[in-house]
């Protein structure tokens, strides 16, 4: 049975999730699909285009809240959490976004719903775009650390290194450095760190700021 474009995109996402952008090539993909690399090019003209298609596809994983039943602030928080979880699942997306133009029907669907959320809150025209972009920038920034760690592990796997051992050694070094500073040292004690996640705190802080702008402009 001949390959379909959808099969190639889904297989590419599997490779990207395991090995990152650096691990994706048409030969590797052909092996995974038990097909010749030339068959990939029939549907997708280049690796760069395949990365763009894969990136747009994963934006389709984001569940969109129903604005007829969910208040705008809760809808905005749900969208932010969905987007954050998606980006962390696909750690390669952040570096891909820095080198590729990611735009297709799934990304457009997400953007459209974000604008609808902020327009329902009372933002108008360019202000809705700015509110939506502000939250997305926070989401991407919040996912950066986790994505970078997953990308580093993928590089270690490709190089054949023992990633877990390297991670343990690095963490021991980080702790040793932190112990030199009193505030950081105190946070190494059991129970010292906050129970609320930094991401949830940040989402609420962004929404507080956006809500305040609505009140100010009213």
pLDDT at residue 147, rounded to an integer = 81
pTM across the whole model: 0.85
Which of 101-109's residues contact partners 24+ apart within 8 Å by CB, and which partners?
Answer: 101/52, 102/52, 102/55, 102/56, 102/59, 103/56, 104/52, 104/53, 104/56, 104/57, 104/59, 105/56, 106/56, 106/57, 106/58, 106/59, 106/60, 107/55, 107/56, 107/59, 109/59, 109/60, 109/64
pLDDT at residue 33, rounded to an integer = 87
Distance in angstroms (rounded) separating the CA atoms of residues 98 and 107: 15
CATH of the domain at 172: 1.10.357.10
Q: How many domains does the chain have?
A: 1
Q: Does 39 reside within a domain?
A: no
Q: Label residue 201 by pLDDT band (50, 70, 90).
A: very high
Burial class (CB in 10 A: 0-12, 13-18, 19+), 115: middle
Q: Does 10 reside within a domain?
A: no
Q: Does 52 reside within a domain?
A: no
pLDDT at residue 61, rounded to an integer = 98
The string of pLDDT tens digits covering residues 57-96 is 999 999 999 999 999 999 999 999 999 999 999 999 998 9
Q: Does 72 reside within a domain?
A: yes
Q: Does 186 reside within a domain?
A: yes
pLDDT at residue 218, rounded to an integer = 58
Q: Does 134 reside within a domain?
A: yes
Average pLDDT over residues 191-217: 88
**Structural domain harbouring 93:** 66-217
**Cβ atoms within 10 A of the Cβ of 127, count?**
17
Q: Does 164 reside within a domain?
A: yes
Distance in angstroms (rounded) separating the CA atoms of residues 129 and 139: 15
- The single-letter DSSP state of residue 195 is S
Q: Does 165 reside within a domain?
A: yes
Residue showing tokens 């092996």? 31
Is residue 184's pLDDT more than 70? yes
- Given a contact cutoff of 8 angstroms between Cβ atoms, the answer to whether 3 and 43 are in contact is yes
Is residue 160's pLDDT more than 70? no
Residue showing tokens 């009213």? 218
pLDDT at residue 148, rounded to an integer = 81
């Amino acid at each position: 049975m001949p390959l379909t474009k959808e099969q190639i995109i889904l297989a590419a996402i599997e490779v990207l999730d395991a090995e990152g952008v650096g691990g994706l090539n048409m030969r590797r993909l052909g092996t995974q699909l038990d097909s010749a690399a030339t068959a990939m090019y029939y549907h997708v003209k280049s690796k760069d285009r395949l990365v763009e298609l894969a990136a747009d596809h994963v934006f389709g994983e984001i569940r969109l809240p129903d604005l007829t039943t969910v208040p705008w602030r809760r809808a905005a928080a749900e969208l932010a959490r969905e987007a954050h979880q998606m980006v962390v699942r696909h750690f390669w997306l952040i570096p891909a976004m820095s080198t590729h133009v990611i735009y297709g029907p799934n990304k457009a669907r997400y953007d459209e719903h974000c604008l609808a959320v902020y327009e329902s809150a009372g933002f108008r025209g360019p202000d809705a775009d700015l509110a939506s972009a502000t939250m997305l920038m926070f989401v991407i920034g919040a996912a950066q650390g986790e994505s970078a760690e997953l990308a580093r592990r993928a590089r270690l796997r490709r190089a054949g290194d023992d990633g877990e051992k390297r991670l343990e050694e690095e963490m021991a070094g980080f702790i040793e450095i932190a112990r030199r500073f009193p505030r950081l040292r105190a946070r190494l004690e059991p129970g010292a760190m906050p129970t609320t996640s930094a991401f949830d705190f940040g989402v609420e802080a962004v929404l507080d700021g956006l809500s305040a702008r609505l009140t100010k402009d009213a």
